[in-house]
Amino acid sequence: MPLHELNALLRMYKYMYMSRKCEDRLIELYRQGIVKGTVTSGEGNEAAIVGAVSTLNPETDVCNFMQRDFAGYLIWGVSIYHLFSHYIANKDSATQGKDGNVHHGIPERGLLPMVSHLGAMLPNVVGATYARRKQGKNSIGLAIIGDGGTSTGDFHESINIASVLGIPVLFFIENNQWAYSTPNSLQFKCSDLSLRSAGYGIKGKKIKATDVSLVCREVNDIVQEMRSTGEPFILQADTYRLSGHAAYDKAEYVPADELNTWKREDPVPMARSKIVSEGIQSESEMQNLEEKWDRKIDDESNRALQAEKINPSSIGWNVFAETKPDITLPPHSGENLTPVQAVNHALHHALAHDSNVFLIGEDIGYFGGPFKATKDLFKEFGRGQVIDMPLAESGFCGFAIGASEMGLRPVVEMQFSDFSTDAITQICVNAGTFFFRTGRRLPLTIRMPGGGGLSYGPFHSEDLEGLYGTFPGLKLVYPSVVEDYFSLLLGSIYDDNPVLFFENKFLHRRLRGNVTFTGEIERLEKARVHKAGDNLTILAYGAMFHEVIAAVQAVEKRLDASIEIIDPRILKPFDWDTLAESVTKTHRLLVVHESWGACSIGSWIISGILEKVFFELDAPPMLFTPPDTPVPFAPELEEVYRPGRESIAETIQRLLSM
């Protein structure tokens, strides 16, 4: 072996050795009840992860690690003390004890935080690699997945997006033969997963990953080619999981002869044997080094064990990052705009004055989107800021999350809000938990055109704010008037959290209004009292806001009533003070919205008001929504299904009579 490879082998062996010893120690602590959750060992996988990660530059490249990639964290510069602290969940845990084992990362250094939905991390790597290259770095991404994870939809969507957009990501398949207890023969029929590369128009290869030097050499050649071509690559690295799925798993389902065959190629003793046989180190020198490494592991792990425990009262329980917009945009005005035109103006204004803002979605480029919200933006700003994506909602939402982790401000268009359910893991599990578990901001806006009234039927008419409202960490914005379509969209783009921006399709071209923007970004905080009143408070948003206005105009004089109308504008976090003050004055509350009533925003609001001002109420609060059925197609059915001014007026009369 050349001298530089011999030196590299000793360095890589250090990480392999320390990784295995650390995991052995963690398993001991788990069995003593000190480490909680579980420990998933990388025994047998060390050559694959160490050989691959050793080719990367943490200052420019992007990577995700999985549950068996402990050695990767060491290479990336995470200390043994901090790795043990996270398992033990002491005061220096990377997530303050909010997540455990290897679920952490350093996004600012290209190491993306892990989630248990392993396939869901792949599009994050693609998006983060795109962002770093957009920022002028010659970055490549290492997207690591196991053999079982190749069955996920995100695996396909990520490779396809990387191929179509020309983003150099190495999809590195750690094929250790078992997905928990499921063998490869029950996971897929092909023996070489890299052959799938042909379907994406990219290159692929399969290697045996028990020799760390071979893995490093092969991956380095691929990485250098990717840096020059900018194309993705699929590499299957065959290895074997030499222990159970986790510390609690005895792996009795693994055939003994198969396990014994692979144990003869255990990568750690193989690397050690080569170091001695090649004369890099003598046996005594190796023993001295290993004793030195053992002492370091003991010192660091003991320090973690002795560290102060987490005090629940001292950690932050916030799910939202504090937002202080650090940009002032030029003033802007527009007259007689529809809501969709106001959206277009807001997107144009952000794109024109901030290169960190970019748009992604389906058919948003030259076509301008199905509702023309992005009309002419592609012509002016090009593919660098307006990106047509494949039909892959989970993939491109995950892409946007990865780009946001690198400091960009992506704006995702869901063609219809109904389609967002394909991306619920990315939106709710990955993005929604991000600040809570990492303490880092995640600026991300997802535009959600929804609602009925257009005879689009069950799959193009859903209003899903109630669904997403059950998940922590997501801000929900629902404008009702033209000016808010502009100002609140800019406020969403410059918020440092994931924001779902709901647009009512029925209103897209049915309202007109003016926009006057002073240049100051609005914070997503306050509801608006549209009309003052004394006898009843009605809270409504979207199309229902305008149905309520019409209903109030029809009944107020006839009933000799004074009715207050509140437009909440921001559903989460909710402006409880404005609503509580109003209900304290009027002593009655009616909530009207177009989404279903079960487990809804309205039921949550009423529950909150009952807790806050119960003794101020003269009648039980009421929630008026469509029935809990899918949205019907026929106009005659949909007219009955959706609350309208007449049915709202009847509800007002009933509540005032109580």
pLDDT, tens digit (0-9, with 9 covering 90-100), for 408-440: 999 999 999 999 999 999 999 999 999 999 999
When pLDDT is averaged across residues 39-65 and rounded to a whole number, the result is 96
Predicted local confidence at residue 191, as pLDDT: 86
pLDDT at 6: 64
* Average pLDDT value over all residues in the chain: 96
Rounded Cα distance between 151 and 183, Å, is: 13
Q: 502 — phi, psi (to 5°)? A: -85, 130
* Candidate from 325-339, 358-372, 387-401, 468-482 with smallest mean pLDDT: 325-339
Q: What is the pLDDT of residue 100?
A: 87
Whether the pLDDT of residue 493 is over 80: the answer is yes
- Does the annotation mark 460 as catalytic? yes
Write the DSSP assignment of 175-225 as a string of letters: E-SEETTEEGGGT-S-S-GGGGGGGGTSEEEEEE-S-HHHHHHHHHHHHHH
Separation of first and last alpha carbons in the chain: 89
Alpha-helix runs per DSSP H in 278-422: 283-306, 339-353, 377-381, 393-405
Strand ranges of the sheet holding 570-572, from the earlier edge strand across to the other edge? 386-388, 357-361, 409-413, 444-450, 498-504, 475-477, 570-572
Q: Which of 37, 65, 103 is nearest to 429 (CA)?
A: 103
**Tokens for 69?**
């990639």
> Mean of the pLDDT values across residues 327-339?
95
Give the other-Cβ count within 10 Å of 319's Cβ.
19
pLDDT confidence of residue 366:
95
**What is the H or E stretch that residue 228 is in?**
helix 212-229
Omega before 573 within 30 of 0, i.e. cis: yes
Q: What is the mean pLDDT of residues 461-471?
A: 96
Using an 8 Å Cβ cutoff, are 332 and 349 in contact? yes
* Candidates 103, 156, 245, 460; catalytic one: 460
pLDDT at 198 over 70: yes
Specify the pTM. 0.96
User: Rounded to the nearest 5 degrees, what angle is found at the Cα of 499, between the Cα atoms of 629 and 323?
Assistant: 150
Condensed to tens digits (0 to 9), the pLDDT of residues 587-640 reads: 999 999 999 999 999 999 999 999 999 999 999 999 999 999 999 999 999 999
- Tell which residue, 530, 598, 594, has the closest CA to residue 568: 530
Structural domains of the chain sorted by starting position, each given as residue range(s) with its CATH number in brackets: 3-306 (3.40.50.970), 332-517 (3.40.50.970), 528-656 (3.40.50.920)
pLDDT mean over 209-214: 97
- Exposed, middle or buried by CB within 10 Å (0-12, 13-18, 19+), for 418? buried
327 pLDDT tier (thresholds 50, 70, 90) = confident
